[in-house]
Structure 1
Amino acid sequence: MEKPSPQLPLNADGICMLCKEMPPEEATLTCVMCATPWHVRCLSVVPETMSSALKFECPDCSGDGLTGAPAPADLEKKDLFARIREIEADDSLSEKEKARKRQQLLSGSDEKGKGIAEIGEETEEKANDILSVLGESFKCCYCMELPERPVTTPCGHNFCLKCFEKWMKQGRKTCAKCRSSIPQKMAIQPHINSTLVAAIRMAKLSRSTTSGGPQIVHRFLHNQDRPDKAFTTERAQKPGMANAASGRIFVTSPKDHFGPISAENDPERNQGVLVGETWTYRAECRQWGIHYLPVGGISGKAHYGSQSVVISGGYEDDEDHGEWFIYTGSGGRDLSGNKRTNKEQSFDQEFKDVNQALRVSCYKGYPVRVVRSEKDKRSPYAPEKGYRYDGVYRVEKCWRKPGIQGFTVCRYLLVRCDNEPAPWTSDEHGDQPRQLPVIGELQQAFDISERAESPSWDYDEERSCWTWKKPPPPSEEKVVQVKPEERENSRKVIRKAQNISMKEKLLKGFTCLICKNVMNQPLTTPCAHNFCKPCLENAFAGQSFSQERVCQNGRKLRSRKNVNRELMEVIEKLQMGLNDDDNGEAEEQAEIGLKRKSCSSDENEETGDSKKSKVDGGEGSNSPSSPLNLHQPINAEA
C-alpha cells in the first residue's frame, strides 16, 4: 500500500515546507484552531465552499496528521475539540472573547471559576510585570511555560532542557515550532543559554521583591529582625566591635528623649533601665536608649539640648566626685587622617555643636543621663568592667578656662538628681536637693553661664521625688502618619522604581559579547553564546573556513544566521517600557514647569497692571511742569 504524501504548513518566513515556494496571501488558508497558515495547493483535501474555507481546520487539528492518516486521540482530546468548535460557533461572542475563551479552555483556568472580567483585570495588573513580559516572549513549545534551564536552537527558538531531551529521544530531530532541522551535535549535547537563565532568575527576584514577600538578596534589617546583640558583617574592615552594627533597640523612646528610660518605654521587661545596669560594649548602651553615639561622649543638638554624656577619661581636666563631677567639653583635638581619638589638644574649645547642647541643658535645667566607663582610670567611681548607667544629673554651671595642655576648654558642673540611689552608695532612697560645691577654678574662668530661670527637672516637695516641673521638650524625631490611599500610592511608586531598575539590569544582561552593548538582532550560537548579528558577521568576514550553502540546482544560498526573534522581542519590550517611563516623567516635569511659568506670568501681569495704574494716575495730574501734560488743551479764557 502506498503511503500518502506528508502535509506541511508554511514556515516563519512564509515559505511552504512541502513545495518550497512562497505563495501569495490569497493562496493560503489559516487554521481556526491553531492559527497556522497552509498552502492550498499542497493540501490533500481542499475546502470546496467559502464558508468551509472560513472554518478551515488544518490536518494536525482535524486528525489527518503529517502522514495523512487520522492521529489517535482519546476522549478528552475529542471533547476539547468539540468545546472549541462550540466556542467558534457561538455568534454572540466577539473575536476577542472567542480567543479569550479558547485560551481559558486550553489553560484549564475555566475550571477554577474565573470569569472574563477577572481574567482581564489580572491581565492588566500583570501588563507591566517583568516576569509576564518574559513569559509572553519566552515559552517552551512543549510545556508552554517559562523555559527551565533554557536551550536555544539554531533557528532561534527556546525550550526547556528536559523537554528538548525528551523530544530528541523520540527521534524527532526538528524544531517543534518551525520544524527546522536540528544539528546532530546539538541533539546529542545541548547547551544551556546562560543569558536567559540570568534574565529569568532576575525577573523572578523582581516579582518576589515587589510583591512584598521576603527579599532574597540585599535584605534590609529592620529593628525587629536584628539580633539581640551588636554584630559584625562581611563589610567590616577591622576585627572586634570597631565596625559592629547595632543590635535590636529594646526601648520605644525616641533618640532625643530626655530623662530616665521609664517602664512604659520598656515593653519587654516593663521595668525601664535601672541605675547600676552594666553592659560590655558601648553599642549596648544604644540598644537600651541610654546613649546613642558610638564614639562621641556628648549626645545632643546645639539648639535642642544634650540628653546624655559618657565619662571615659578622655580629658585629663575631668574631676569625678560621684554625686557631682566637672566634665570637659568636646573638641580641640586634631582628628584628621581618619583618627577616632587623639590625646594631644591642638586648639581651643568653643561653645558650639554638642558643647552648646550641654549649655542649653544648663539654661533649661534638663536632666542628662550619665554613663561611666571602665576606661576612666583616674576615677574611683568608674565600673570595673564595661559601661554602667549611673542615673541622671543636671548641669548647674558652665564656663571656659585654660586647660592642662595650655588650650582653652569648656567646663561643666553636673550634680546628681535621680530618684534611685547611686551604685556606690547603700542608701535606700534617691538624691535630695544639695548645695552646689565650691569650685576653685572659677576664679580663672570666663564665659561663665548659669541658669536664670527655674529648672524643668526639679525636686517636688509634695511627692518627695524628682520630676518634670515643666513639660519636657517635644521630640524632633519624625513620626510618619500616612493615609491608606497615600500608602498605596507610595507602594506603587516604589514598585515602579524597582521595575525600572530591574528593566535596566535585564537590558545590561542582554549585552553582546563583542560590542558590549545591548544586542541588536541577537544571534545564539550552538554553544549557547549570544551576539549581535552584525558583530558576528564582521568577526568572521573574509575568513575562508566559512561554509557555503549550495542548493541542488547550483544556486548559492545566504549564510545560515537565524535571529533569535523571541530574545529580540523581549529586548524591544524592555526598551519600550523604559522609554514610556522616561516620557511619562518628562511630561510630569513639563506640566510642573508650565504651572510655574503660568504662576510667574500671572505675577508679572499683576505688577504690570499696578505700574500702569500709577502711570495713568500721573497723566491725570494738573501739574503744568509735568512732561505728560504738554499736549493738554489750554483754556481760552486764560
Structure 2
Amino acid sequence: MAQVSSQVPLDADGVCMLCKEKPSEEATLCCATCATPWHVACVSEIKNSPLGFECPDCSGDGLGGVPAPADLEKKDLFARIREIEADGSLSEAGKAKKRQQLLSGKIGSEEGETSGVKDNNSSDILGVIGDSFKCSYCMELPQRPVTTPCGHNFCLKCFEKWIKQGKRTCVKCRSNIPNRMAIQPHINSTLVAAIRMAKLSRTITSGGSQTVYTYLHDQDRPDRAFTTERAQRAGMANAASGRVFVTLPKDHFGPIPAEHDPERNQGVLVGETWANRMEARQWGVHYPPIAGISGRKHYGSQSIVISGGYEDDEDHGEWFIYTGSGGRDLDGNRRTNKLQSSDQEFKDGNQALRVSCINGYPVRVIRSEKDNRSPYAPEEGYRYDGVYRVEKCWRKAGMQRFLVCRYLLVRCDNEPAPWTSDEHGDRPRKMPVIAELEEALDFYAREESPSWDYDEVECCWKWKKPPPLSEEKVVPVDPEERANMRKVIRKAQTISMREKLLKGFCCLICKKVMNLPLTTPCAHNFCKPCLENAFAGQSFSKERVCNNGRRLRSQKNVLKCPSCPTDISEFLKSPQVNREIMEVIEKLQFGIDMYGNGNDARDSASDENSSGKGKEVAVDLSNEEAESQHENPVKRKASSSSISAEDENGDISKKSKVDDADASVDNSGDSMVRKAAI
C-alpha cells in the first residue's frame, strides 16, 4: 500500500517529484489518457505496452488506490481521449488540440448535435453576431465596442488596457492607431444596438424573462378605462382607454349622430356627462386625455375642453372667449404650471383652432367641473355642451403680461343648451362686442362663408360646404372586415429580427444597408462609395505660392466627417473595409433569403434554399467587384503621377485585365488588397 501511495508524476520543470531527478526523454513515459509525463523508474508497474501506458491516476492505482470514477460521462471522456491518441492520421500537435477541445466541451457539443440543431445555430442571430464580432484582445463578444480604422473591434476596457501598455498599433493587424483615437476612443453605437438586439432575440426564442408590451384592439378592450402594472401613478393619471363605442374617425368634425352609435343608436346628446376625460374619449367627444385642444395644425380643431386652466377665459354660456395653450414651462415631467413664462404663438393646437376659424368648422365643447369661475360649469365631471364656431382670433397681453392667443366661440347647435329651457336649438345671433379687440395683435376674422352654417329653409345648422376628408381610419363594425384588419396588423407586426437588425447597419449618408462598410475613427459607419463621393475632388493638401513665385510648405486640408466635426483626412488616405460588419450583413441577407419571414416563408423554404445560396455568392462577388471598382478618388488624385508612369507598361496592364478574375487576394491582417497590376 505504501508503494501505491508514493507514485507521483513529473512536475512542470520535468523533475520527478519522487526521486527529485530530471530524467531523460528515453526514461520518460507519457500517459495515453491524460498525457502526463512519468518517470519510468519510479512507476511501480506498467501493465500495458509503453504505447498504451496509463498512469496510476487514470488506471485507478494512484494515491490511496482510489479506483477510476464510475461516472458514465467520465468513462466516455476517457474512451474518447484514447480514440484521439490511437488516431494515426493526427500529428502530436493535432492530438493536443483535439484533447483541449474535448476537455473544453467544444467537440462534444459539435458532435452531439444533429443536423437540425446545426440549422438552428445557423439561424441564431446571436451566433451570427458572436462569430463575426469578437474583441481582438480578449476574443469575446465586445462590451462597449470600439472599432479601429483598420476595421477590428475591441472592448472599451481592453482597448484602454492595450493603449496603457504604450501600444499604438492594432493587436491583430499591427496597423497604426491614430493618436486622437488612442486618447479619446468612441464607442460604435451601431454595434451596440446590433448586439443588444441579438441578445434580445436569444431571450425571446429561449423563453426567458422579457418585458412584454401588449396591444389591445378596440373590440377587446373593457367598457371602462383601466390601469395596468405599467402605470406609474395611481388613479386615472396613467390609465388606459376603454373601448371606443362610436364608429367615427378621431378627426370627425361636428356632432356625433345616431348612425355612428351602434351601442345605443342615439348618438352623443347635448348635456351628457362623464366622470372623467377617459370616458368622454370612449364616446369620441374629445380624444386627448390631457391636452385641452384636439386637432392638427394643418387640419383644424375638432374639440376643446374648458377647465379653467387660464384666468383669462371669459364664459358667457352661448359664447365665450377661450385662451390658447402654451407659454408655460412644463420641464421636469410637469403636466401643469400656472405661471406663464413666455408668449403664446399660433402653432400646434393654437394654429388648429385658427384653421377652424378660417374655414368655419364646428368645434365640440366640453365643460369641466374644475372651472370654478364659470357659472355654466357642471357640478360634477365633464359635460358635452354642443358645437360652437370660432368667429375671431387674436393675441393680447394676458394677466401675467405675456401674449396669449384668444378665440371667440359662438354656439351653433341644433339642440338647446343644457342651461336653457328652450325647445329649439340656436339661431344666428349678433356678434358680441369685445372691448379688448382695440389692443389686439395678429387679429383675424373670417371673411368667407363658413363651412358649418344655418340653413334658413330647413331651419337648422348643417354643412354648407363639404366637410374635410378624414385622415384617420374608421373603426370597422363588420366582423369579416375586422378579421381582415387583424390579419393586416399581424402581418405588419411580423417583421423578422433579421430585418430589424439589418436596418441598423445603414449608411449615415444614403440611409441604406451599407455596401463595403467603413468605420471612421469617430465611430461612424458609411458605405465606402458614399464616403468617397462625399470627398470627391478634394485633395489632402493644398499648394501655396507667394506673389514672387516662391513655393511655401503645403497646407493640410481638413476633411470633416459627414456626421461630426472630426477630421478624417488621415483615415481617407487608406480606408479599410470593416470585414466583420460586412460579414454580418452578408449573413443576415443570406438568412432573410433562406428562412424568409413568418409562416409563409416556411412553406416555401425548400424553394428558397437553392436561391439563397446563389444570392450569398452574388453578395460576395458584388462586394469584391465593388471594392475593386470603387477606388479612393482622393488617393487616386494624390498619386496620379505614379499611375501615369506605370501605365506605360502595356504588357503588364493587358495581363492584369485578362487575369483580373484570377487575381490573388492578400488577407494579411484582415485587409484585402488586389495584387493585379494597374
TM-score (norm 1): 0.46
